[in-house]
Structure 1
């Protein structure tokens, strides 16, 4: 099965190695999002060049187009998208709730109409696991209901308990293979007692890893961190911990500080397509006129092509001219920045200086004074 070895701790922060069927991944790790079998605006070689070793695909999008069965016939998701490292697949539950039309959910699962063409589909725990198996995922996620925010305690409890029943069915449906694993997802909204109940239910079932879901959905960073502080210590210390759909660089530092090992988020890629760049000196908006005559690099300490070969003025020009190279270069830069951030945090944990490194990183972000959006 998939394993995770913790190599060092510094406070609650952890550095480790995740071992999968498609290689080892050092943690903490940020996984670029390749929702539909591609990290937007990037080739697989470009993603590898950023330092990324693990990416995410999505059950909902791939089951609709090109279909999981077609992906399997073509040799699996790794081969189709030319990605030789590990792949984690999201179960599709979040997208069903947020994108699908005319959805109907009950104990069996969800029936919905595609946001693409209105065609009718059913997604049960068993079907989600089967799709992820066809895709060839190294890490398979349980189907769950992402509890909306805000939700009353009763609403959050009902939602969480349904997800726990689905988790047990996912465990039964999952086919164990060497180097592959199934992750359970902790739900419970912003209620610590419900989060604790969810952890207990998942631990009783037993999973190769544990994710914290239902956060970064509008509750705010302070509340998210408070939920993590109540939840993460309850998770098994010998299993990887994954915070789903998070987030900003500040979110990542704060979550690593609280014991999270794995992350994914569309933010670096989506921001790259809208002229927002994350740097060690804060976030910058390359559409801003102040960059029009700036011959300096975006970040002189970054080795990505956007920084090593081009000026801020050129990047500004690309976005003003609506040239596709602009989003490509900034996406590359942002993913590289996230990978560099994870590496810096990992090295600090191994050296026993996490808090000093985190403080220096956070101080650097305050240097940017311009609007970032």
Structure 2
């Protein structure tokens, strides 16, 4: 029986991005060092399951280290594996190649780092395994490395270890590009891939797998993160995803239709957050709050983002027991009124909407100086969507329509 663990994209000591401290947020100590905690979980799993081999498919590190402590910490974890005879095979990815310190750090004898000049094979005869791999020579590798990987070794379980982008994968730079069919044609039993940060099985026969990263680091890396446990027994191959992450990234959308105040919209978000947190097992979560639906408070949600964010954070702290960190609040609501009809009306609101539509048709003519506003919003978790001028104008319209409605109400009351 052949058993090993496939990990990738550990990005050791990479910070979690987009998080700002605020009252009621989880303790910074709970998320600082999350990638180290994920590595600890990986090592503990290997030791507990008595797995004899770990393969790491690139991006062990995260570019330049601040000092040698990052590498020393990894070396210490590898010594723990060496003490019980676990071998470790590593190919360096684009982030590893960008780090000069990576090349000078000595690792224990149980660790094999594949060279970058050409592919090579590591024979582990006692395990009946042949690992084929090649590291990156530089941070940008655009050649198809897989094309030159060696033939499989007869009578052994052959693993291809590669940091690459396969055709059809999205959201990552096209490094060491190749196709799934090219990988399958090599005749290996298993391809352990890295570079794409989501776990995915690209093909069953042969098994071609992205392990994904071991710890999500920003809102684009949602869902559980971990490694892959692999067992081959008389031709039958079993793979199992094993979660390792200690902090989750979640996008939580709440329907706030009918809300008449910021507090009510925040309350409705809290209900959605509570449901999302139920599946997290008490782990800290970094959350992007998304508000949807048509509501009377739409204009105020757009016009007072600081108050909205404060309300959302307060509700999140209460609902989650200070386990949810609000990374950002995104307003995707709309007014209850039919804006298309309103724009055709002979009213101040209609004239305003027609003017904004004219501006939206020529966004290049709009020159906004938002320096002071950006300074006020710094560190609040609120962003101005300057890349989407149409959205800026919609938000401005919502603000002005709300102001007009308030003025009309005051006149009617007096």
Shorter-chain TM band: 0.3 to 0.5
TM-score, normalised on structure 1? 0.38
Higher helix share: 1
TM-score, normalised on structure 2? 0.35
RCO higher in 1 or 2 (8 Å CA, sep ≥ 6)? 1
The structure with the largest alpha-carbon Rg is 2
